[in-house]
Structure 1
């Protein structure tokens, strides 16, 4: 059975990988979120991602601005 810390690392890696695939910075991600009406600073996004404890809503918002249609689990 996997521990919570392993799940946090997995979630963090998943989001970081998708951002890298799109060749975006966290500044770009923050700008795209702003267009959707979501106010997040690049530092706040970084903190949430690195903690790995973000909620499903935040994850979906990030995936939406990345135009991610599918995930490789």
Structure 2
């Protein structure tokens, strides 16, 4: 059995924030653009979106919704909640 001593073991990789990965930034930008485009197509403002989200139990101010969309790092659940309340029809090929 070959057992490495503590001095022979390589250091573990340094942790990095997953959110900072370039590929994540790219997809966050795409998610943000997709939601904004859906809102624009349906003629729904951020204020209206916040009101409609509240109707289904998602309590968030219009500013909070705007910030969440602006960051782009929102969950798939939030995206689908938004698409549902603005009555956006989508095809599977858009994903």
TM-score (norm 1): 0.88
Which consecutive unaligned segments of at least 5 residues does structure 2 have? 1-21
Q: CA RMSD in A?
A: 1.5
The offset of 1:5, in angstroms, is: 1.2
Which consecutive unaligned segments of at least 5 residues does structure 1 have? none
* TM-superposition CA deviations, 1:13-50 (whole Å, max 9, x none): 00000001111111101111111121111111111111
Partners of 1:67 and 1:24 lie apart in 2 by 10
Greater Rg by CA: 2
1:70 and 2:90 are equivalent in the alignment: yes
Partner of 1:21: 41
Partner of 1:37: 57
Per residue, is there more helix in 1 or in 2? Answer: 1
Indicate if the aligned counterparts of 2:29 and 2:72 stay in contact, CA closer than 8 A: yes
- Where 1:3 maps in the other structure, the secondary structure is helix
Which segments of structure 1 move beyond 4 Å, counting only runs of 4 or more? none
TM-score (norm 2): 0.69
Higher relative contact order by CA 8 Å / sep ≥ 6: 1 or 2? 1
